[in-house]
Chain A
Amino acid sequence: GAGVSQTPSNKVTEKGKYVELRCDPISGHTALYWYRQSLGQGPEFLIYFQGTGAADDSGLPNDRFFAVRPEGSVSTLKIQRTERGDSAVYLCASSSPGQGARELFFGEGSRLTVL
């Protein structure tokens, strides 16, 4: 597809379980971002990749959250020992070389519900 693709679109899990969320960015986009949006809030920055490396992971809330982008394209956000407070929509975005934060293209998000 032409846009940022995120899977799954919806994930319901139980407290304490492990979850993986996948993001497939727009082809050719070198920068990839993960954001989290809780109800009634704006998107909150989690982590930003430039190529394969995490250029800024200052938004990850704690060490239960981890993200990888091994080949510089698809990225996976991993959440260990999920808690009810992790329930949110997880948004992935990408941008073309040289654009960076000037224009991010977002996917539709993965809605995570932790029971």
Chain B
Amino acid sequence: DQQVKQNSPSLSVQEGRISILNCDYTNSMFDYFLWYKKYPAEGPTFLISISSIKDKNEDGRFTVFLNKSAKHLSLHIVPSQPGDSAVYFCAASAVTFGNEKLTFGTGTRLTIIP
């Protein structure tokens, strides 16, 4: 039972344009959401997060949007740069309920075309 789903295994975007990565979840108890970025042969690195009390969080070129009613979140990268090429994982947890483990999606491989 995949509680966090990333339905697009891959995405290609022209350099300078906007990259939009999507994530859906099924567990209503999830109240904290994160995006991680992973380069080959490296561990995932934290990118940006959002609490369920917000619907948007912005950090430089990265913005995460949360739609609780649709159980959907998205990561926007603008403008996209070649160094953004990586695998992006969406993750969720239920921290309010004392659940400190992250549940990850299967990832989306983003390729930025110069």
Query: Does any Cβ of A come within 8 Å of B70's Cβ?
Result: no
Complex Cα distance, B103 from A59, in Å, reads 11
Which residues from chain B contact A35 at a C-beta distance below 8 Å?
104
| Residues A56 and B101 in contact in the complex (CB < 8 Å), given A40-B106, A100-B95, A106-B44 | yes
B81 at the interface (CB under 8 A from A): no
Does B59 touch A at the CB level, under 8 Å? no
A-B residue pair count with CB separations less than 8 angstroms: 64
Chain B residues lying within 8 Å of A48, measured Cβ to Cβ, are 100-101
Tell me the smallest distance from the CB of A67 to a CB of chain B, in Å: 14
- In the complex, whether A70 has a CB less than 8 A from a CB of chain B is no
CB-contact partner of A101 in B43, B44, B89, B100, under 8 A: B100
Whole-angstrom distance between the Cβ of A21 and the nearest chain B Cβ: 14
Which residues of B from 25 to 75 have beta carbons under 8 Å from A?
Answer: 32, 34, 36, 41-46, 49
Partner of B46, one of A4, A33, A103: A103
Contacts of B34 in A (CB 8 A): 102-103
Question: Which size class do B's interface residues fall under?
Answer: 20 to 34
Q: Is the CB of A42 within 8 A of B89?
A: yes
Contact B107 A33 (CB under 8 A): no
Contact status A43-B101, CB under 8 Å: no
**Smallest CB–CB gap between A56 and chain B, Å?**
6
A12-45 interface (Cβ within 8 A of B): 31, 33, 35, 40-45
* Closest B residue by C-beta to A40: B106
Neighbour of A42 across the interface among B32, B95, B104, CB < 8 A: B104
Interface: A83 (CB within 8 A): no
In the bound assembly, the distance between CA atoms of A103 and B6 in angstroms comes to 20
Q: Which residue of B lies closest to A6 (CB)?
A: B43
| Closest B residue to A91 using CB positions | B43
- A-B pairs, top 5 by smallest CB distance, nearest first, are A106-B43, A42-B104, A101-B93, A100-B100, A101-B100
A-B contact pairs, 13 of them (CB 8 A): A4-B43, A41-B106, A42-B89, A42-B104, A45-B102, A45-B103, A48-B100, A56-B100, A93-B43, A100-B95, A101-B101, A104-B102, A109-B43
